[in-house]
Structure formats: structure tokens, C-alpha cells
Amino acid sequence: MPADPVAITRELLRCPSVTPAEGGALTYLENTLKAAGFTVHRKVFSEAGTDDVENFYARIGTQGPHLTFAGHTDVVPTGDEKAWTHPPFSGAIANGELYGRGAVDMKGGIGCAVAAVLDHLAAHGGKPKGSISFLITGDEESVAINGTPKLLQWVEGMGEKFDHCILGEPSNQETLGDTIKIGRRGSLNGHLIVTGKQGHVAYPDRADNPVHGIVKLIAALTAEPLDAGSANFQPSNLEFVSVDVGNKTVNLIPGEARAMFNIRFNDCHTLESLKALLQKRAEKASGGKIKFEFKFQPSNAGVFVTKPGPFTELVSTAIKDETGRTPTLSTTGGTSDARFITHYCPVVEFGLVGQTMHAIDERVPVAELVALTAIYRKIVDRYFG
């Protein structure tokens, strides 16, 4: 009998694996893949100030080419469980849809990949003409420190290399087959801090109001675009999301003003060149009269793109053959663990439709799970010739 992606996904959904809890999801995958002949490793990584995270790596085969399926079994919190039509960790099926936290993001993608690989192995004597692996993390929905980046380093330390990767994030916008993610913009968070001199509002000459300075700098930083976009990416955007002086008194000029911002940037910039650009613009606007500084948060979210070629064509063709749609090659959206994988091999993201991810009543049509499994199966079959 073919492997059942719905049954596999249901078992994963019944595991309460809210970041950083493993919740039984990795145990289920271990038992399932070991039974198919995979060698399985479960690694816990730690770092001061962060939660310990358990991760999963399973491989079958020892030769190339090596195709890996990547993903995460951790999920975001459920929110108000009473608001759910069906309990978020029940794996309930109703009206042709499978409900549960992580159904779309991204236990459904993992379930389909596992089912497709099991079917491929069953049709080829239990062994691929190369190697297939699963690279599964437990903190993608959090800070992504003790997950994929450290697991990749560990695998590399074992002397293993990947040739290509499919990350099963929910890449599609409206319909299965409409979008493949071939890149992601980078992300940089920071604070702009302007220091003035506190004083009485009736005597502004005795004070230095930092609100005036921060308004001027914000206007200067956002007056011109960061760039005009590139061949693969839309223009970068700088968004101020908070301006605060912590002042509850109307007759007091504050001594400091802070503004918080995020930049989603394309391949016209690096993290360092972007910081230098902001500094240059702020210095020009201040004219040496505004005392300011930037404090940037650490970022592991750099920009990347997988250039179209034979691998993206193979994936696109498999999608079109199953769905009749030619997918758009996109670099839009937020960040994903592909930003780490790209340093080890070419990676594309293709999974389910992301309409209900992170929402109350997250769910996926059963037919969509079956179709995604068929796409993954075509990819694996063609990848190994």
C-alpha cells in the first residue's frame, strides 16, 4: 500500500510541539524512517540565554547525488484553544480538511515528503540511486539559533554534503503550484536613539528636545528609497514601527527619544553595507547638531537567491505535470531556514498553500496533501533518473 500523507501528518499534528518542545514529533519520525532503513540522529544544541533545542537528521544511502528535505516540526502557540472549531492537537478531519496547529506550517509538508520518499523507496528496492535525507529542526518559529544552523554544521562535521534541498515551507499564495520560493530578502532590526537634554517645557532654551531630532532623522532616513530593486528582488524597505520617549508628563521635555525599525533588504546590500548606509544618511541629516546612535540587533537573516537552472526547472516541471500550473519563481515574504541551507547547497521552497498558517483553525485540504505528495514523488523519481 502507498504511504499515506494524511495519516503521517495527523500523527505529527497530535504532537504538541510548540517551540522549543519536541512533543513526540521527532520520535514519530524516527520510528517511521528507521523502519524504512534510514540512519537517524537526534541532536540537542544549546547556547547561553536560549532554550535547548532537539533536532533530527536521517539519511539513507551513502553515495551522491544527495537530495535533502528540510523543515521544522515546532509550531507557534495555539492562541485561544476554545476559539478552534476542533482541538488544535487532535488532527481532526472535517469537510475534507485536516485541522491542527502546524497543518500548513509545516507538518503537512513534512508528512507529504516522508510519504513520497517512502513510496519511492518501495518502488526501487528500498534504496535510492544516491542518498535521501531529512533535516528537521525544532526552533524555526523562534530565534533559529539552536536549530538548522547548528545541525548543518554538525552534518558538515560528519563529512557529509548535500547536492540540493527542498524546504517544505508553505510557499504557495492562493493555489497549490502557483509559487516556488527561490530566495528571501534579509532582515535587520534596530533602534535609532537620539539624546537631548531634559528640561521644563516653558524654558526650551535650557533644554534640548530629542523629539525634534528624531523626527528629522526619521524623515531623512525614509525620504529616499534604499534601492530600486534588483533582477531577483523587489526594492528593500525600511519601516519604523515604534517611536517612544517614555514620557507621561506634559510639561517635561524628555532627555531621550527612541525609534524602532525593521529593514527587509535585497541583494543590493549586505548587513554591514546597510548599516553604513543608514549611518551616512543620519550623519548628513544631523549636520553635527543631533546626538544620535544606532543599536542593531544581532541578525542571522541575510539575503539569498538560488539562481534558476536545472534543479529549479526539474521542480517546476514536476509541479506543472501534477497541477497544470507553471509556478512563479518568487523571492517575496519573510525569512526561513533556507537562509542557512543556501550556504551548503542550492535550496528551493515548495510546500502547501499558506492561507491559514499561524491562524486559529489552521487547516489543509486532504486533497492538497495527496497532490503535494504526488509532486514530491515526481521530483524524487526524476532527480534520481
For residue 383, what pLDDT is reported? Answer: 98
For residue 302, what pLDDT is reported? Answer: 85
Q: Catalytic residue among 140, 208, 349, 362, which?
A: 140
If asked whether residues 243 and 127 sit together in one domain, one would say: no
Q: How confident is the prediction for the chain on average, in pLDDT?
A: 96
The answer to whether residue 74 is catalytic is yes
The model's pLDDT over 49-72, given as tens digits with 9 standing for 90+, comes to: 999 999 999 999 999 999 999 999
- Write down which residue in 263, 296, 329 finishes a domain: 296
User: Is 105 annotated as a binding-site member?
Assistant: yes
The model's pLDDT over 216-260, given as tens digits with 9 standing for 90+, comes to: 999 999 999 999 999 989 999 999 999 999 999 999 999 999 999
If asked whether residues 360 and 234 sit together in one domain, one would say: no
User: Is 322 annotated as a binding-site member?
Assistant: no
Higher pLDDT, 96 or 1: 96
Q: Which domain holds residue 26?
A: 5-184+303-383
Q: Is the pLDDT of residue 298 over 90?
A: no
DSSP 76-102: -----GGGSSS-TTS--EETTEEESTT
DSSP 47-58: -TTS--EEEEEE
If asked whether residues 173 and 191 sit together in one domain, one would say: no
CATH code for position 155: 3.40.630.10
The model's pLDDT over 302-355, given as tens digits with 9 standing for 90+, comes to: 899 999 999 999 999 999 999 999 999 999 888 899 999 999 999 999 999 999
If asked whether residues 165 and 199 sit together in one domain, one would say: no
For residue 228, what pLDDT is reported? Answer: 97
If asked whether residues 175 and 198 sit together in one domain, one would say: no
Smallest CA-to-CA distance from 9 within 380, 316, 352 is with: 352
Provide the β-strand partners of residue 188: 263
If asked whether residues 41 and 153 sit together in one domain, one would say: yes
If asked whether residues 24 and 128 sit together in one domain, one would say: yes
For residue 234, what pLDDT is reported? Answer: 93
For residue 113, what pLDDT is reported? Answer: 98
If asked whether residues 28 and 148 sit together in one domain, one would say: yes
Task: Find the distance separating the first CA and the last CA of the chain, reported in whole Å.
Answer: 23
- Write down which residue in 249, 271, 296 finishes a domain: 296
Q: Quick one: DSSP state of residue 147?
A: S
Average pLDDT over residues 171-197: 96
For residue 357, what pLDDT is reported? Answer: 97
For residue 146, what pLDDT is reported? Answer: 96
On whether the CB atoms of residues 265 and 226 are closer than 8 A, the answer is yes
- Choose the weakest-confidence range: 112-116, 299-303, 311-315: 299-303
CATH code for position 228: 3.30.70.360
Give this prediction's pTM: 0.88
If asked whether residues 153 and 27 sit together in one domain, one would say: yes
For 73, 246, 257, the CA distances from 192, given in Å and listed in that order, are 36, 15, 8
Q: How confident is the model at residue 34 (pLDDT cuts 50, 70, 90)?
A: very high
If asked whether residues 326 and 193 sit together in one domain, one would say: no
Percentage of the residues of the chain whose pLDDT score is greater than 70 = 100
> What are the residues whose beta carbons fall under 8 Å from the beta carbon of 317, sequence distance 6 or more?
382
Q: Catalytic residue among 22, 54, 74, 227, which?
A: 74
For residue 301, what pLDDT is reported? Answer: 84
Average pLDDT over residues 278-282: 98
The answer to whether residue 205 is catalytic is no
User: Is 124 annotated as a binding-site member?
Assistant: no
Average pLDDT over residues 363-378: 98
User: Is 361 annotated as a binding-site member?
Assistant: no
Provide the Cα torsion 9, 14, 18, 24; round to 10°.
Answer: -90
If asked whether residues 211 and 277 sit together in one domain, one would say: yes
User: Is 164 annotated as a binding-site member?
Assistant: no
Q: Is the pLDDT of residue 299 over 90?
A: no
Q: How confident is the model at residue 101 (pLDDT cuts 50, 70, 90)?
A: very high
If asked whether residues 193 and 239 sit together in one domain, one would say: yes
The model's pLDDT over 142-171, given as tens digits with 9 standing for 90+, comes to: 989 999 999 999 999 999 999 999 999 999
- Write down which residue in 280, 296, 312 finishes a domain: 296
Q: Quick one: DSSP state of residue 59?
A: E
Q: How many domains is the chain partitioned into structurally?
A: 2
On whether the CB atoms of residues 210 and 245 are closer than 8 A, the answer is yes
Q: How confident is the model at residue 15 (pLDDT cuts 50, 70, 90)?
A: very high
What is d(CA 226, CA 233) in angstroms, rounded to the nearest whole number?
13
